[in-house]
Structure 1
Amino acid sequence: MQEIPLCLRVGNLLPYSMSDSNTTDFTNPSTFILLGIPGLEAAHVWISIPFCTMYGIAVLGNFTILFIVKREPTLHEPMYYFLCMLAVIDLVRSTSILPKMLSIFWFNSREIDFNSCLTQLYFIHCFSVIESGIFVAMAFDRYVAICDPLKHSTILTNHVVAKIGLAVMLRGSMLILPYPFLVRRWPYCKTNIIPHSYCEHIAVVKLACADIRISSYYSLSVAFFVIGLDMFFITMSYTQILRAIFSLQTKDARLKTFGTCGSHVCVISAFYIPILFSSLMHRFGHNMPLHLHILIANMYLLVPPMLNPIIYGVRTKQIRGRLLWLFTHKGT
Structure 2
Amino acid sequence: SEKLQLAVLIITHDMSVVRALADEMYVMQGGNIVESGEVQHIFANPKHEYTRTLLDSVPKFDMQYASSGDSYESIEEVAKAIAKNISESPGSESPVVEVQGVSVKYSHARFSKNSNKLALANANLRINSGSTLALVGESGAGKTTIAKLISGQIKPNSGLVLLNGENLNRLNNKARRQALSRIGYVFQDSGSALNPRKTIGWSIAEPLLLHTNLDANERLERVEEMLNQVQLPVEFASRFPHELSGGQRQRVGIARALILQPSLLIVDEPTSALDVTVQRCVLNLLHDLQQKYRYACLFITHDVGVVQEVASEVAIIRNGSVQYIS
Higher helix residue share: 1
The two structures share one fold, judged by TM-score above 0.5: no
TM-score, length basis structure 1? 0.30
TM-score, length basis structure 2? 0.30
